Structure 1
Amino acid sequence: MNGKGKCLCGSVQLEVEYASNELAACHCSMCRNWSGGPMLAIDCADSIKISGESNVVRYQSSDWAERGFCGKCGTHLFYFLVPSNEYHLPVGLLNPDENFKLTHQIFIDEKPEYYELKNQTQNMTGAEVFAHFESGK
């Protein structure tokens, strides 16, 4: 599946190939701080084409990840896992008519009590997420 998206001002345009139609909700404190709520993201692996890349600002938020945003309008563009060269894009950035499905939630142990997603999903704690990535699965 292929998709397209752009920032609010149109200075950055993205063309991606989705790894699947499955979405993840990340409840970690950094994603909530960055986006104002859980980050709903889709895995685009390394298949991403960025037009207007000179407008993209990358912020290294940890030893293993960068967060990209438009330097003109501030739109959140991606979460990039450096070791595996994987891009995860906020789903709201992409075509709204896609057949996306929320299948898993990560850092569920950091989710605040004031919201609850009703979807039946696979849930992972932060420790389980790190163990998953360390094992390479």
Structure 2
Amino acid sequence: MPEYEGNCLCKAIHLKAIIEEPKLSCCHCETCRIWCSSPFMAFSCTQKPSVSENENVGKYASSSFAERIFCKNCGTTLYFAYTNGKNPYFINAWLFKGIENITFDAQVCIDDKPDCYDFANKTSMFTVDEVMKSIVK
């Protein structure tokens, strides 16, 4: 499976991830939109990404079931992780260069999406309740 490498904006953090399929998903929940100033666009990975651990890696427990990993120096969004360690990791899709044949596959928390924007792509769509039911406890 292909492994891709990327950096945060200031290059203080180097990240490697195995991306099984280049299927892009986005989350419209309010927390992701505040975190990214837009829907969070991500690739799903079953293995935890490898991150150059240093003092710039920040972790924020945004809920009882998830944390958000970011660069404390430049603020770059790195990835979203469920704290149970059983669900996929969602990695900022735009950290990596050279990924080809990306498809926009799914939109989650679609019922949280504001009315002021829409994507033209045909994707699978999941509500907040559907997402919450899919989380392995």
- Normalised to the residue count of structure 2, the TM-score between the two structures is 0.91
Gaps of 5+ in 1: none
Question: SS where residue 131 of structure 1 aligns?
Answer: helix
One-letter amino acid of the structure 2 residue matched with residue 61 of structure 1: S
Aligned-residue offset at 1:96: 4.9
More moved, 92-101 vs 20-29: 92-101
Moved more, 42-51 or 62-71: 42-51
Aligned length in residues: 135
Q: Which structure's residues are more often helix, by fraction? A: 1
Partner of 1:5: 6
Q: Does 1:81 align with 2:44?
A: no
Tell me which residue corresponds to 1:105: 107
| Aligned positions of 1:13-52 closer than 5 A | 13-52=14-53
* C-alpha separation in 2, matches of 1:110 and 1:23: 19
Deviations along 1:89-121, one digit per CA (max 9) or x if unpaired, are 111111154322110100000000111011111
Cα 1:23–1:62 shift into 2, 3 Å: same
CA contact (8 A) 1:46 1:86 kept: yes
Runs of 4+ with >4 A deviation: none
Given the two structures, how large is their TM-score scaled by the length of structure 1? 0.91
Displacement, 1:127? 0.4
Question: Amino acid of the residue matched to residue 70 of structure 1?
Answer: C
Provide the identity percentage.
Answer: 34
Structure 2: gaps spanning 5 or more residues = none
Distance 1:123 1:95, change over 3 A: same
